[in-house]
Amino acid sequence: MILKKRLTRIIAFIISCALVGICAFQCVFIVNENMKQVDSRSNRDDVMESHDYTHDINHLFDQLWAVSSIYLRNTDKNSRYTCSKEYEKSIKQAMQELELMDISGKLTIENPRDFEYYASCGDRVLTNTTKSAEELKSDYSIEYIKGQTNFFPKGMNWYNQGEKRWYTTNYGLTYYLMYGSLPKQAVALYDLDTTDLESYTDDFGAVLYYKTDGTMPVPENNYRNNEELEFEPANREAFEQFEHDEENVYYALPDERNGFEPNERDIWSEGKNVESVGDMSEVTDTDMYMFFDENSRNWIKVSKDKFQKYDEKNSDITIYIKPSEALISEYEQYQTMRGNIEQDSVHKAMPLIPVGIAGAIIALLLLIACGYDAEKKKFVLSMPDRIFAELPVVFIAGAAAGVFALLYGMDEIRTVLAEYYTNVDMGGIITGSALTACYAIALGSLITLSTRLKCGSVFKTSLTGRILVFVWKYLKKLFSFIRKKLDLRSIRHIEKNSLKKDIFLRRFLIRTAIAVGAEFVMAVFALPYPYPNIEGFVFGSIIVLVVYIYFSFRDHAEIAGVAKQIADMNGGDYSPRTVPEKSPAYGMTNNLNNISDGIKTAVDKQVQSERMKIELVTNVSHDLKTPLTSIISYIDLLSAEEMSPAARDYVTIISQKSDRLKAMVSDLFDLAKATSHTDVSNEEIDAVILTQQVIGDMADKIAQSGMEVRTDIKAQTAPIMAEGRKLYRVLQNLIDNALKYSLAGTRIYVNLGNDEKFTRISVKNISAEEMDFTPEEITERFTRGDKSRTTEGNGLGLSIAKSFTEACGGKFEVVIDGDMFTANVILPLIEK
């Protein structure tokens, strides 16, 4: 072979680069020459595909969307406003701020290119043409139908149609957010008189008004658009609206950092420590707005949930914008010309293809013959082949990235350099030179990798390989040291026994050994120096790989039965499996059968224990009811007899205690049944109706307690699967618990809301006593929040609520935050 000598290969490398370079240069010159005819049009602003054209059509769309959403939606066919006077005033002000209406109330739409347009909102239509909406449809038109853009129009250089949405609120605000080319990104309309109201400008340029009487939200911080809002500091008043546990601490609030209201010495003389507060949210409730009521001269709290917003749809808006026929005709002529230019470029480049193919063929021959030493009659590594193998890989990736970048930016290079070099195509020279350099770098890197592959030195000459060899040598030394220190005979004995029993591992080792041996034999016979049969070696390796994969998958199919058995066990099916003794899954299946037997036995024992415990509690409760009923009956008879006042008091106390004992026995009985899950009969019920029913039934008891119960039901319906009687008892216990232990003068909150999959019922109250227990402790049986036991109750209410909730398939949780006690009942919604 003529390429056996190194000097010949160097000459062939230069010839290959030259041929490919000639092809690259000529192709770049052809493309640049033809693209000069296109550049003259690209710099014009009066044609399609220009940035000005796209800006104008997008700007017209922004105007029409704003007019349709704000003006047409609130006027009738006679252009009379259908809204209140205050809202009409806001509409006119917003339209003037968006430069879409003059002072007289006339619409002013900017349309310098005389686009034909049609915009409608419901039955209100705004158009500048006699054509219908259907007649304005074309491949070059913007079609915005029922709030959606149908497709990307032809002739646009870029398309940046920003998000446009709007929402209404329950306090008179309608907010339009319209990213685009209008003077303002957002406007706020008010259905109320905003005269003399405080205001601020948000991040999108909309002016937002607010009141400090609790009827409108106020800014959440004191800064908007780098503009400080004037507020009188009221941190101390807001701080005092909440209770704080540490009475011996004086909290220095943010507006008091430079000095305290009382003298610092006076604070220390009272035995209090000073603690600086950096953020008011640390000592106040961030879910509340604080308002100062001028009439009562008091600070009041209003929940942020009071102010709601409702996202509205654009489905009633339709917009069509069509360019003029002259623009469309000119654009189509340009596209025809461009197609002709591209065809001409292809025809001129066709004669260059054989030159590039010749360079590629020489490169392929170089890859086959590279690394061969004519004197030693074998493939050897040269000095460039001994550098780290990762470096040529990086060069190949860099050359590929360079080619991609050059092809992508060729037009920009040509355009920039054409301003300085009018007589010479400097852009083509630089691009062609760079492409040739990338080809030479990639070819040289492939040659060195091919040489290493032939010599079997890819791993040895790589940095990764050298690191792994070093680590392996170190581990071998470490293992040898450990082996000398430890007696490994027992370990080897265990390994031999496990190998004998593990058919899967044994088959894997045998199969792998056969495959490696077959590869070795093929390498010996197919790759002898100096004429290796690479094709035969590759073909044989593929056959060995296919056979190896086939037998591996066959064993894996049998092992998959073990995975299925594990999955069945996870689902509660502990029945044994039977497989042939020669199956690779035989040992593992037997082990799983033994585990299944053990688990089944343990589960049976646990079920039997639970059943005995439940029967014991049930029998004891039943046995207690009989004498207790007799005691209550005799107490009733005794109450009818004449007796002294002291005796009468004793009888009353006995009656009260017996009633309490009867309630406790009944609770124990219910708790035992709930724990067993034996009498649960779930059915579809509505949690909203059930919650309202419980609150209504307990109205008399709530009135007698003197507490105020606030409800906030945010869902219209909440369909769940549960037993109504048990869930009724859960809510009854939670509200009853709140009535017993709430601080006098505070409120009890009952909330219900839905998320995607669950409904959450919450009962919140402020405890009258210090809660020095955890949520886990308070839900245990006979655990009471009142450690002094001065209130009525037996410590089973929350335990029954938790057991009944879990019996209905839900989750019960208790949250303690300072003196705030919250009980949550979470139940899965029925998927419709």
**Residue whose C-alpha is closest to residue 108's, from 95, 90, 93:** 95
What one-letter code names the amino acid at 138? S
The CA–CA distances, whole Å, from 328 to 145, 151, 324, 477, 718 equal 22, 17, 6, 80, 57
Contact 238, 212 (CB under 8 A): no
The DSSP 8-state label assigned to residue 742 in this structure reads: B
Question: Which are the contacts of 102, defined by CB distance < 8 A and separation ≥ 6?
Answer: 96, 108
Cross-strand partners of 711: 750
52, 57, 58, 64: CA torsion to nearest 10: 140
CA distance 70 to 176: 8
Residue 101, helix vs strand vs coil: strand
**Dihedral pair phi/psi, residue 765, rounded to 5°:** -155, 160
Contact 406, 435 (CB under 8 A): yes
CA distance 299 to 293: 6
The CA–CA distances, whole Å, from 672 to 611, 615, 628, 737, 782 equal 10, 8, 19, 21, 14
3-class DSSP string for 127-171: ECCCCCCHHHCCCCCEEEECCEECCCCCCCCCCCCCCEEEEEECC
Question: Which are the contacts of 68, defined by CB distance < 8 A and separation ≥ 6?
Answer: 119, 120, 121, 124, 126, 317, 319
Contact 723, 808 (CB under 8 A): yes
Contact 177, 185 (CB under 8 A): yes
CA distance 713 to 709: 13
- Give first-to-last CA distance, the chain, whole Å: 77
What one-letter code names the amino acid at 172? G
pLDDT value at residue 224: 44
pLDDT value at residue 226: 45
pLDDT value at residue 334: 84
Contact 314, 168 (CB under 8 A): no
**Residue whose C-alpha is closest to residue 176's, from 277, 91, 260:** 91
The CA–CA distances, whole Å, from 507 to 141, 281, 551, 563 equal 68, 66, 9, 19
pLDDT value at residue 577: 78
Question: Which are the contacts of 430, defined by CB distance < 8 A and separation ≥ 6?
Answer: 413, 417
Number of H helices, E strands in the chain: 21, 26
pLDDT value at residue 81: 94
Contact 328, 272 (CB under 8 A): no
**Residue whose C-alpha is closest to residue 773's, from 788, 784, 762, 789:** 784
3-class DSSP string for 594-645: HHHHHHHHHHHHHHHHHHHHHHHHHHHHHHHHHHHHHHHHHHHHHHCCCCCH
Helix%, strand%, coil% for the chain, nearest 5: 55, 15, 30
pLDDT value at residue 432: 84
pLDDT tens profile 300-312: 778 888 899 999 9
294, 296, 302, 308: CA torsion to nearest 10: -60
Residue 273, helix vs strand vs coil: strand
pLDDT tens profile 21-55: 888 888 888 887 777 766 666 667 778 888 888 88
pLDDT value at residue 179: 84
The DSSP 8-state label assigned to residue 272 in this structure reads: P
Question: Which are the contacts of 94, defined by CB distance < 8 A and separation ≥ 6?
Answer: 70, 176, 187, 188, 189
Instruction: Identify the segments of the chain with pLDDT beneath 50.
Output: 222-226, 260, 265, 488-499, 788-790
pLDDT value at residue 764: 93
pLDDT tens profile 663-708: 666 666 666 665 555 566 788 899 899 989 988 888 888 888 888 8
